């Protein structure tokens, strides 16, 4: 199975880049499933139903969120009725929406999970224990043929510890939230694909997707009231592409994806017979 995961979509430039590049990525890479983190898609903060529908129309199969999940209140009734939109699983019981979903891919089934870290983040339930409990009900080769986890977290140490703990039990652990693509993509010893952060789909001539002057001013003048807005230059679409083994659900191959904007581009060269 081929799975394309794209990192945090930031503002209009990120949305436009996804709409422009995703159809070509689908044609070139032929992914069976496309998962996109969309928690910054609405002017950098949150997601609206209209934008969610546009991302689905552009080619997303599943959207995930993060710490800005509730910045746009209109998403609350929408998420209740849209199973393809996931918020972090480790929000407390009773939170609107769902943190995981099983999605059909031909004759196969994929479990997609959104979880949020706790270091330097909101004090949510433990993502390690929450995922452990979920995997008691779902297992590779048992109920699903692939498991993808978007861990929305600040600390690289937490993401790495998480990936190693679940190595061999899930197909892909990919980090989001820091908006910078890391160079540590690899397949762990147990067969789980991992990258600390997929990067963002946004304008990199910026401060993690936000306009440079206002962002820099916050550090220099220490005035947090200055309004941040997304940078609006050409965006780079960033993510990872993984191929899993149909028999085991573990990763056979993993490669980064970067298209457009100012970052050095890279596209996976599809493996022969893959």
3-state secondary structure of 251: strand
Catalytic, out of 21, 68, 152, 177: 68
Q: Residue 120: left (phi > 0), alpha (psi -120 to 50), or beta?
A: left
202 Cβ neighbours under 8 A, 6+ residues apart: 8, 9, 10, 11, 13, 14, 17, 40, 179, 209, 230, 231, 235, 236
Cα–Cα distance list, 17 to 10, 182, 264 (Å)? 10, 20, 15
Return left, alpha or beta for 177; rule: phi > 0 is left, psi -120 to 50 is alpha, else beta: left
Active site residue 68: yes
Active site residues: 68
């Amino acid at each position: 199975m081929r799975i394309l995961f794209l990192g945090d979509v930031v503002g209009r430039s990120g949305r436009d880049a996804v709409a422009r590049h995703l159809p070509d990525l689908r044609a070139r890479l032929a992914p069976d499933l496309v998962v996109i983190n969309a928690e910054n898609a609405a002017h950098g903060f949150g997601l609206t139903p209209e934008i969610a529908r546009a991302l689905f129309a552009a080619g997303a199969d599943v959207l995930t969120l993060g710490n800005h999940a509730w910045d746009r209140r209109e998403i609350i009734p929408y998420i209740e009725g849209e199973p393809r939109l996931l918020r972090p699983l480790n929000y407390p019981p009773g939170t609107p929406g769902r943190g995981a979903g099983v999605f059909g891919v031909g004759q196969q089934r994929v479990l997609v999970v959104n979880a949020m870290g706790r270091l330097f983040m909101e004090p949510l339930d433990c993502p390690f224990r929450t995922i452990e409990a979920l995997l008691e009900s779902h297992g590779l080769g048992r109920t699903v043929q692939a498991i993808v986890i978007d861990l929305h977290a600040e600390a690289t140490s937490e993401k790495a510890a998480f990936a190693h703990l679940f190595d061999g039990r899930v197909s892909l652990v990919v980090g989001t939230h820091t908006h910078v693509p890391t160079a540590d993509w690899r397949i762990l010893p147990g067969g789980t694909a991992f990258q600390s952060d997929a990067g963002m789909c946004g304008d990199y001539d910026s401060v993690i997707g936000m306009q440079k002057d206002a962002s820099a001013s916050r550090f220099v003048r220490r005035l947090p009231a200055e309004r941040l807005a997304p940078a609006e230059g050409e965006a780079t679409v960033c993510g990872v592409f993984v191929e899993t083994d149909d028999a085991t659900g573990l990763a056979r191959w993993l490669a980064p994806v970067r298209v457009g904007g100012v970052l050095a581009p890279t596209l996976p060269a599809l493996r022969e017979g893959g």
